[in-house]
Structure 1
Amino acid sequence: MGALYWAGDGPLHRLPAGAKLLALLACSVAAATSPGWVAILLLVAAAAGHLASGFGIASLARDAWSIRWLVAFTVLAQAPFQGPARVVAVTGRIVSVVLLCDLLAYTTRATDLLRTLTSALGFLRPLGVDSARLGLLIMLAASAIPLARSTYAQARDAVAARGLSGTRALVAAAVPYLVMSVKRADELSEALDARGV
């Protein structure tokens, strides 16, 4: 997740990691339990956050474009069972939360997030739970999708540089994507072993 951090001095960069995590949790709960129009407000909040942090509309558009397959799957999975309004509402909720998660990753150092999570989970220590390990597990889970997306973007760009496009590019990108994913998994495993986790 640290590789996703963009150095900056915007208001979200200066906000404590704990406050951002609580805000993300509140937004996620609101997206899941509130009417569909709340998703529109959350999308506006994500756009405002990107602009306020100096990332610009191009960054927001790139993030939205990178989850097009998730959007397509969500729409296709719901379309046979739900009306159009419901499909749009649910898809909007998912997109808004993903974009807000991206914003958290871009504006918060991984070390700050891990420190905050470890501290917040400290109440579990009397129950025999290692809050540091649990915090690290949550961090790894939270960073899995963004890292997978960035890995695929690298593989796709490498394939595009060789002149492939369309369906052939999607198929050709699969092999380097798998290779890079396995390489990152091996590196992560070695790093965790070295730290005794």
Structure 2
Amino acid sequence: MTRSNGRTVRDLRRENRTAVLRRLYFDGPMSRFALGPATGLSSGSISNVVAELVAEGLVEEAGSVDSAGGRPRILLRVAPASGRMIGVDVGETRVRVELFDLTLTELARAERPLAPSAEGGERYEVGVVVDHIRDGIAEVLRTAEVPAERLLGVGIGVPGIVERTDADGAVVHGQTIGWDAVPLERLLREAVDLPPEV
């Protein structure tokens, strides 16, 4: 079903879920009562969305607070164990890979040193960086005993400008490390064994 503004019921549902998750992530724990004004959703919408998110394991109860009369209000929060994320930092002297839960609690870390290339300066071989990222991802998943299927995403910070292309995904132009139009996303997808949606 499409509404007059072109949005479907599915779009509206996704927006409501996003609003609740965002509020709980950045401002939580919160009660259902507080989520209404914070998200602009009706109490019925909050009740439906929260029930779905709890059933999916994305949201969990986090205690209660007294109300101004009546029953105590149950606090809700994003369930930390409902997903994992990896952050990668390609720095000037090392590649750092960290695994986090959804509350950004670090679960594991791996670091690999970077050395200047044979040409001198701060030019790093693309293959070496890709290998360090691949090995670091494998190490943090193994250390924390997390299957790759639990990953929601991998974010990579690189020195330089990142351009998005249809053919190669993220392409890096990193003058300080001697990279010119390096198809980093494509190289990593070929080297790292992760589900395609990650």
Which TM-score band applies after superposition, normalised by the shorter structure? under 0.3
* Greater RCO structure (CA 8 Å; 6+ sep): 1
Instruction: Give the structure-1-normalised TM-score.
Output: 0.24
TM-score normalised by structure 2 residue count: 0.24
Decide which structure has greater helix share: 1
